[in-house]
Amino acid sequence: MAAAWCLVKEGYTDLDIYEASDTVGGLARSITLWNQTVDIGPHRFFSSDKPVNELWLDVVGDEYEMINRLTRIYYKKKFFFYPLKAFNALFTLGIFQATLCVLSYLRQKIKPIKEDGTFENWVTSRFGKRLFSIFFKTYSEKLWGISCRELDSDFAAQRIKKLSLYEAVKNAVFPSKSQKHKTLVDQFAYPLKGTGMVYGRMADRVRNSGGRVHLNTPIKSVITENQKATAIELENGTIVKYDEVISTMPLTQMVSRLPDVPDHIKQLAQQLKYRNTIIVYLNIESQNLFPDQWIYVHSNDMHSGRITNFRNWIPELHGKETSSILAMEYWCYEEDDFWNFSNDQLIEQAKTEIRTTGLIKDAPISGGHVYRIPRSYPVYVTGYRDKLGPIEDYLKGIQCLHVIGRNGAFKYNNQDHSILMGILAADNIATGARNNLWTINTDYETYQESYVITRTGLTKQ
């Protein structure tokens, strides 16, 4: 959608958007439940990239609010502020446990382990073994469904790059806006009608400019001739020719259906895996449950990994309704039994788990809704780059094909990463630029001055 928005602004009017579902936005969409607006999980937009922020503000205008972020970690019936607050962590862990964590960290600094490319070693080298076990291991293994020894360190490098125990403590004791790590931002911009408002407006702009947005219209394959993308085939067999094709189809699906793909490239694509998400929404008859926007569940006695409280975002989402909608997130693979649980089973499990936390006390639960998302997370199994690299090289050789997005590029993108991919893909088409889209959220760094969105608009950091 970001690519389409940019192309329309450049004067392109004859373009089509194909969306497999009933609305645009992918994972960053909003739905209506119990007369309230909720997102598909918590979506926090934050970027220091000027073009990304300019596009976002261009779409949203002044129809947003700044949210003061409050997120915590739930671990063994206790709650820890995230980002780390030194005294909270000390007293919540207890003096004995906190001392052991510090000693574990110091041991790692004195006698560092040799990093081997795994997530476990990456985190341990920066936090120590004990803090890794408490605050990283359980949650990460819930999310990915594999041991942290099998998870590639790229996940950490992309999500918590440059963060260490020292930096976290420094941010807690000596706060500095200029030094704050991206995952630790304590305020973010949020659209008045939910995250999906951004992409719905982009779609409207495409339609109003003469373009077409086809909903419930999945694409079967991209058609190429002589290593050039020339058309797409819809699931119903219709073939439509195009000068340029921008694809956000799951990478594995697209590669497997391309014509004349070498067998070894297809085999590599088949070895890449995606993780599925199931969100169970619960309507809780209470307005004041807990203050967090979302909570990370690190306790291994719960299957759920994250709990979002949409009551704590902006009042425009719940309007005059007096209940609170919670989203309980679960992750699994398509072959797991859990993926095929009935909606009733999933709702009952979510009800039981939320009760065990004590977060809702005795508040009645008046409703449940299940939302299933296939292929929501690309899984960074150790060594996945050895498989992805040759696929990238092959696709770079196909002219007029631009592969972007979390699923399309097999990258664990935030919204800002995917928007940037769209901006640069549009630039490649409109101006003939040669932006390497594969470097976004991998090696790409912005060397321009940093800008952030505040309530008054774009502000230089």
Q: Residue 217 above 90 pLDDT?
A: yes
Model confidence at 70: pLDDT above 60: yes
- Both tokens of 97, joined, read 């446990």
Of the listed ranges 59-68, 250-259, 443-452, the least confidently predicted one is 443-452
- Asked if residue 285 has pLDDT above 90, the reply is yes
Mean pLDDT of the chain: 91
Of 51-60, 156-165, 219-228, the least confident: 156-165
Per-residue confidence (pLDDT) for residue 181, from 0 to 100: 47
Cα separation, 8 vs 137, in Å, equals: 45
CB 229 within 8 A of CB 403: no
What average pLDDT does the segment 374-395 reach?
95
Domain ranges of the chain: 84-185
Tens of pLDDT along 1-32? 999 999 999 999 999 999 999 999 999 999 99
What is the pLDDT, as a whole number, of residue 152? Answer: 93
CA distances from 87 to 65, 72, 97, 180, 185 (A): 30, 14, 13, 19, 19
pTM: 0.92
Lowest model confidence (mean pLDDT) among 220-234, 417-431, 437-451: 437-451
pLDDT at 319 over 60: yes
Residue 126 pLDDT exceeds 70 = yes
Res 284: pLDDT = 98
Ramachandran sector of residue 148 (left: φ over 0; alpha: ψ -120 to 50; beta: rest): alpha
- Cα–Cα distance measured from residue 40 to residue 49, given in angstroms and rounded to the nearest whole number: 24
Structure tokens at 175: 């706060």
At residue 234 the predicted structure's pLDDT band, cuts being 50, 70 and 90, is very high
Beta strand extents in 36-179 (DSSP E only): 36-39, 64-68, 71-75, 78-82
Pairing of strands 229-234, 219-224: antiparallel
In this structure, are residues 289 and 324 in contact, taking their beta carbons and an 8 Å threshold? Answer: yes
pLDDT band at 249 (very low <50, low <70, confident <90, very high): very high
Please state, in angstroms and rounded to a whole number, the distance separating the CA atoms of residues 422 and 136. Answer: 32
Mean pLDDT of 303-328: 97
* Percent over 70 (pLDDT), the chain: 91
Token pair of 419 as six digits? 């928007």
Confidence label for 94 from pLDDT (cuts 50, 70 and 90): confident
pLDDT-derived band of residue 336, with 50, 70 and 90 as boundaries?
very high
pLDDT of residue 213: 98
136 confidence band (pLDDT: 50, 70, 90)? confident
